Structure 1
């Protein structure tokens, strides 16, 4: 015996007797307010902010200064030993570098009475390659901008998705414009994700190079390999700023130039099909 007897449930009444009609109305109201704020305030503000970051390429005090790639952080990476970074080892096997602790496992090094440098106990010394502080600062700024771009694009997409009118034959140009803008918003936050992957690859690339450097310390090309990798990453972040600006500018102009079709996709003579 079927669970619902001999007849299947009828579906034609599902939306005629809506149990919670206020849910969609409240959602549309909230999303419209959010879209208005994004289009009127947040995207224009972001465009100004990104342009200022790009202008900082001419400012020597900025991490985005194009001359940063000629500074020591980018030109002279070093593999250092703990003895070059600390004033001495602590009893617990840890050394101090400013406020940072360097872990010195006892099974890798141990004190040597003659010179105090320690004996080589493991497969290699406990090498230290310091981070590039300028690059890290650039990454923090660009990553935040990419996260903001992703969320703003998604919020606009949420709003447009729930505003799409009834699908019917003919007179659908406005709806096609909405669909195109949804596609553009989807493309924007996918590109932001791709760029974030590019940002976070910086540490992974340096890690791989430094691991090989620790294995083959006499192979001097590793200095140049890390330097050129860092330089490319700095160039990449500056390029990302321009990509973010392009996405914001493109979205804002497309919405503004097609606004009548976005808010009134059916082209009625009333104040608007959506508003």
Structure 2
């Protein structure tokens, strides 16, 4: 820190002489255009898209179909042991056999027959960790779609917040209702992307929940409750992902409605005739 004695730097002219006077104006122009596009085009289109996804609950070909939870992927998960697969066509004549890209039974869990000969296709008795529980492919499709929607919701809310923060007028006593409306909408945008983060964590938990149940099932394969636990977990996740679609719809519709109904106060918070050129 420089030492100035009793003389301190003056702050009066900070915003009169800074070297890049147009940086905030350029940013404002960019995000005003972005806000116009979001409010006029993107959000209404998103509402239609989310409604279409919700309507797919009645379509048997859709991953969001409510009847999916009665399919085998949700009702009958299985714990299987990978097998040693020999491809007899490959390396033909070389005297060697090759393995396919399917799961392989590692050599250290093979057993020996009564004659002492190793049989790689056999299964070791006791606890081991080489079983396979297949992923729920339908749920992964649902997760992929909703995760993408949540990411986009988060970014759209952030972009609107960047713009609206710059629209807040000079803080002064009196006539602050419009600024209060802006502050309220900023808090709503903040709440929207926080909720999107929470829902993303809910989507991510699908694999973590299955991982815990499947590893315990492999450790204690005689407990049939693990199959039911995974089935119930997957079924709940399918219900949860469809619930998230409704939450996303609610956030988009709520934000768009609040902006539309309070638009005058948003762009003209002091009630003057100068709107700042939003349109």
TM-score normalised over the length of structure 1: 0.91
Q: Map 1:161-176 onto structure 2 (within 5 A).
A: 161-176=165-180
Q: Map 1:109-188 onto structure 2 (within 5 A).
A: 109=110, 113=117, 117-118=121-122, 120=124, 123-124=127-128, 126-188=130-192
Q: Map 1:17-166 onto structure 2 (within 5 A).
A: 17-83=17-83, 87-88=85-86, 96=100, 100-109=101-110, 113=117, 117-118=121-122, 120=124, 123-124=127-128, 126-166=130-170
Say which is worse superposed, 202-211 or 2-11, in terms of deviation.
Answer: 2-11
Q: Give the Cα–Cα distance (whole angstroms) in 1 for the partners of residues 181 and 99 of structure 2.
A: 62
> 1:12 offset after TM fit, Å?
1.3
**8 Å CA contact retained: 2:80, 2:133:** yes
> 1:147 offset after TM fit, Å?
0.2
In structure 1, the gaps of 5 or more residues are none
Structure 1 residues 63, 119: CA separation in 2 closer, same or farther (over 3 Å shift)? Answer: closer
> 1:88 offset after TM fit, Å?
3.9
User: Which secondary structure state, in structure 1, belongs to the residue aligned with residue 170 of structure 2?
Assistant: coil
User: Which secondary structure state, in structure 2, belongs to the residue aligned with residue 82 of structure 1?
Assistant: coil
Say which is worse superposed, 213-222 or 121-130, in terms of deviation.
Answer: 121-130
In structure 2, the residue matched to 1:226 is 230
Give the alignment's Cα RMSD to 1 decimal.
Answer: 2.5
> 1:215 offset after TM fit, Å?
1.1
Q: Give the Cα–Cα distance (whole angstroms) in 1 for the partners of residues 123 and 234 of structure 2.
A: 33
TM-score normalised over the length of structure 2: 0.89
Q: Give the Cα–Cα distance (whole angstroms) in 1 for the partners of residues 98 and 250 of structure 2.
A: 48
Give the number of equivalent residue pairs: 269
Q: Give the Cα–Cα distance (whole angstroms) in 2 for the partners of residues 62 and 95 of structure 1.
A: 36
**8 Å CA contact retained: 1:32, 1:159:** yes
In structure 2, the gaps of 5 or more residues are 89-94
The reply on whether 1:272 has 2:270 as its aligned counterpart is no
Deviations 1:3-50 (A, max 9, x none): 234311111111122321111110000000000000000000000000
Q: Give the Cα–Cα distance (whole angstroms) in 1 for the partners of residues 133 and 140 of structure 2.
A: 14
Q: Map 1:173-252 onto structure 2 (within 5 A).
A: 173-252=177-256
Q: Give the Cα–Cα distance (whole angstroms) in 2 for the partners of residues 176 and 195 of structure 1.
A: 29
Q: Give the Cα–Cα distance (whole angstroms) in 2 for the partners of residues 105 and 94 of structure 1.
A: 14
Q: Give the Cα–Cα distance (whole angstroms) in 2 for the partners of residues 228 and 156 of structure 1.
A: 39
Say which is worse superposed, 123-132 or 194-203, in terms of deviation.
Answer: 123-132
